[in-house]
């Protein structure tokens, strides 16, 4: 076989291989595009399922009762109005209620973060008899529904007594209901709203830190408390931010503990839960759907502070969730 024929065969083989490579690249590109489209469709669908109730609430808060009953209107009102927000703002006493709720949530948030970090560090670093049993009980606090022990909690704080001391001197317990004291006491003892989850987050985070840091501190003569406050706690910034934000949002939106212990307080979630009856009594509204429009406006006003906080701390929040032990 002469040289030109061999050259033509070689060129033909190279062209065939190039054609195969191009087809393979095309198939991979098409596969990536189809995969991206499929993922986008799934994410859009999930986002709509999650956000559709919120979108409906915000949309209804701008509607008049005529738009609400109009079958043609969907999400976008024909005659948008701000009257719903004005009425909800007045009936909720929004400036005072929002300020009280923010201060209350911030105080509980700080207490929970400190106590849960302290307990989580103890579970992560110290081994003692029964530690696994105690940690299993901590897990049960956010696995078992709180409604199962709401009656004992209510009875305990309706007639509160510490080791029988109050009964000894006063002949009876103290009624702590309709005060923030029950929530504060639960948070101080590590059994507040979602405290079990926060303890778990801190435990997983501290377990991920190298023990050489503490060993070096112990060699230098530092005690456990000094090591925790000066060395370990400053390194737990990501877990602290995660717990701070979660605790604040859950306390801000809490209705169960608030209605159980502080039914007559000025907390915003409780005001929202009674807004429909307030509007019906004050404005003599008989139509429950019209009263619901004011409730939707009140809910929209309530979530605005949370949206502002999230927008301001979004980057720190995402970094802290990614670096903390929340999935560990």
Residue-averaged pLDDT of the chain: 82
Rounded average pLDDT over 121-135: 86
> Cα–chain-centroid distance for residue 262?
22
Residue 11, pLDDT > 60, answer: no
CATH topology of domain 83-323: MetI-like fold (1.10.3720)
Confidence at residue 115, expressed as pLDDT on a 0 to 100 scale: 93
For the chain, percent of residues with pLDDT exceeding 90: 8
Is residue 95 within 8 Å of residue 103, measured between CB atoms? no
Where exactly are the structural domains of the chain? 2-51, 83-323
Between the CA of residue 82 and those of 29, 132, 281, 303, 308, what are the distances in Å? 50, 56, 21, 17, 21
Say whether pLDDT at 205 is over 80: yes
Average pLDDT score over residue span 198-212? 86
Looking at per-residue confidence, does 19 or 40 come out higher? 40
Cβ-Cβ contacts under 8 Å for 193 (sequence gap 6 or more): 108, 112, 183, 186, 187, 247, 250, 251, 254, 257
Q: Are 168 and 222 in contact (CB under 8 A)?
A: no
More confident residue, 93 or 195: 195
**Among 204, 206, 210, 231, which Cα is nearest to 220's?**
231
Predicted confidence (pLDDT) per residue in 243-273, tens digit: 888 899 899 888 888 888 887 777 888 888 7
What is the per-residue pLDDT for 7?
Answer: 55
Mean pLDDT on 63-75 = 85
pLDDT at residue 218 tops 90: no
Q: In this predicted structure, what is the pLDDT of residue 110? A: 93
């Amino acid at each position: 076989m002469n040289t030109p024929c061999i050259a033509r065969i070689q060129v033909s083989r190279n062209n065939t291989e190039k054609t195969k490579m191009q087809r393979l690249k095309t198939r991979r590109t098409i596969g990536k595009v189809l995969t991206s489209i499929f993922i986008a469709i799934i994410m859009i669908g999930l986002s709509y399922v999650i956000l559709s109730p919120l979108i409906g609430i915000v949309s209804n808060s701008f509607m008049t009762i005529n738009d609400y009953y109009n079958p043609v209107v969907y999400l976008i009102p024909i005659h948008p109005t701000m009257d719903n927000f004005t009425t909800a703002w007045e009936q909720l006493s929004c400036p005072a209620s929002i300020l009280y709720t923010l201060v209350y949530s911030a105080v509980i948030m700080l207490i929970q973060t400190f106590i849960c970090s302290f307990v989580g560090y103890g579970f992560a670093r110290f081994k003692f008899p029964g530690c696994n049993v105690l940690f299993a009980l901590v897990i049960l606090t956010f696995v078992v529904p709180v409604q199962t022990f709401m009656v004992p909690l209510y009875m305990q704080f309706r007639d509160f007594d510490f080791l029988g001391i109050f009964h000894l001197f006063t002949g009876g317990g103290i009624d702590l209901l309709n005060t923030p004291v029950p929530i504060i006491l639960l948070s101080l003892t590590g059994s507040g709203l979602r405290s079990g989850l926060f303890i778990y987050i801190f435990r997983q985070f501290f377990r991920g830190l190298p023990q050489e840091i503490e060993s070096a501190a112990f060699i230098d003569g530092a005690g456990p408390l000094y090591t925790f406050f000066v060395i370990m706690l400053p390194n737990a910034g990501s877990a602290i931010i995660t717990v701070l934000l979660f605790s604040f949002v859950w306390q801000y939106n809490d209705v169960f503990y608030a209605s159980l212990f502080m039914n007559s307080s000025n907390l915003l979630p409780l005001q929202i839960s009674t807004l429909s009856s307030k509007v019906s009594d004050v404005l003599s509204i008989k139509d429950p759907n019209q009263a619901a429009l004011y409730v939707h406006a009140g809910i929209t006003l309530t979530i605005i502070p949370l949206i502002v906080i999230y927008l301001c701390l979004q980057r720190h929040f995402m970094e802290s969730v990614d670096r903390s032990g929340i999935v560990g």
